[in-house]
Structure 1
Amino acid sequence: MTPPNNTYPLQTLVGVGVLLIGLGLAAGALTIPSAAGYGGVGPNFLPWLVALSLLVCSGFIIWESRSGGFRAMDESADGPQPYWPGFAWMSAGLLANAALITTIGFIFSCTLCFVLAVQGLKGAEGRNDRGPAALLKDTLIGMAIAAPVFWMFTQFLAINLPGLTSTGWL
């Protein structure tokens, strides 16, 4: 048996990273009001649930890495390799959505997120249909998904989402 300490420092680092994300989410949840709404739970319920789940998972990851490493990992390096350009496309989509949602509104920022994510997924599949026609098709599909979601939240549920205009329809 291998010694338990400092045997798998990168695996321990993953656990510490999850711990820091959980602590960051918990710190953010502290700033959300806890007034109970529909169903008896407040808007901070879900962030607290996710933060606590991440903290518990980080404890298990750190314990596992410090007591012999991730035992069930495959030793083979011949498996599927990560497709980093796809990761970059999807990350760009999420970051653009977060950065632009209050500027260009929910519908257009979510459409942009969808289009960028699709570019990453197409690349991961090895597809080359990335011309103007495919881009237009992806944009229309993204709008067909984002617009009804926006309208459902703003018009039917009376939940304010960032819009491009003050009418609640765009």
Structure 2
Amino acid sequence: MRPATPQTLLGVGTLTLGALLAAGATQISAEAGYAGVGPNFLPWLVAVALMLCGGFLVWEARSGGFREMEEPSGAASGFWPGFAWVSAGILANAALITRLGFILSCALCFVLAVRGFKASQGRPDRSPKAWLVDALIGMAIAAPVYWMFTQLLAISLPSLTTTGWL
């Protein structure tokens, strides 16, 4: 038996995550609902899949390690300014979605994430035109998603106005 490696720990962590999800699924009602499945079906499905993957990862690591792994690409360390831009976008979206509405908060998240990704590629463009173009692209992506959820699926998302279109 080989000593524990980071690969084995990854498998054990995946198994543990699956077990924790299964424990949480036991707390969800099993009453059958729409289409004959209850609300605990999906958590159980994901828990079983995670535990199967975790078991396979442990077996793979203990029987010779992950085979045919490619050398990692990219920089030796993370690009922290890019991480900060993307994190700011996600946090701003979470903080402002009820104030600005889904479309504008998601567009802001998109703009900030693009700043981070472009900076990580060595192409930081902070011109007003770039900010505007990214904001318009973000709104062009978020608006159809918002309309599909609210108008077609009747799922309520935060809006800027009471019309249901912004």
The answer, yes or no, to whether TM exceeds 0.5 is yes
Amino acid at match of 2:148: M
Question: Is residue 162 of structure 1 aligned with residue 158 of structure 2?
Answer: yes
Secondary structure class of the residue paired with 1:107: helix
Counterpart-to-counterpart distance in 1, 2:37 and 2:29: 12
Deviation at 1:29, TM superposition (A): 9.2
Find 1:147's aligned residue among 138, 143, 146: 143
In the alignment, is the contact (CA less than 8 A) between 2:98 and 2:159 conserved in 1? yes
Structure 1: unaligned runs, 5 residues or longer: none
State the Cα deviation string for residues 59-111 of structure 1 (Å, max 9, x = none).
2222222333223224x57x423543334433443344344434433212221
Pair 1:84-2:79 in alignment: yes
Q: 1:139 to 1:17 in 2, by over 3 A?
A: farther
Structure 1 position 134, deviation (Å): 0.9
Shift of 1:143: 0.9
8 Å contact 2:108–2:135 — kept in the other structure? yes
Deviation of the 1:30 alpha carbon:
5.3
Asked whether the 8 Å contact 1:25–1:51 carries over to 2, the reply is yes
TM-score, L = length of structure 2: 0.72
Kindly indicate whether the alpha-carbon contact (under 8 Å) linking 2:100 and 2:159 is maintained by their aligned counterparts in 1. Answer: yes
User: In the alignment, is the contact (CA less than 8 A) between 1:25 and 1:47 conserved in 2?
Assistant: yes
Over the residues paired in the alignment, what is the CA RMSD in angstroms? 3.3
Q: Which residue of 2 aligns with 1:138?
A: 134
Larger deviation: 137-146 or 109-118?
A: 109-118
Question: Is the 1:5–1:67 Cα contact (8 Å) retained in structure 2?
Answer: no
State the match for 1:4 in structure 2. Answer: 2
Q: TM-score, normalised by structure 1?
A: 0.71
SS of 2:101's equivalent in the other structure is helix
Residue 126 (structure 1) shift: 1.8
Inter-CA distance 135–54: structure 2 relative to 1 (3 Å threshold): farther
Q: CA deviation at 1:138?
A: 0.8
> Residues 110, 22 of structure 1: CA spacing in aligned structure 2 closer, same or farther, 3 A cutoff?
farther
Change (3 A) 1:118 1:161: same
Q: Is the 8 A contact 2:115 2:124 kept in 1?
A: no
Could you list the runs of 5+ residues in structure 2 that have no partner in the other structure? none
By how many angstroms is 1:58 displaced? 2.1
Compare 133-142 and 64-73 and name the one that shifted more: 64-73
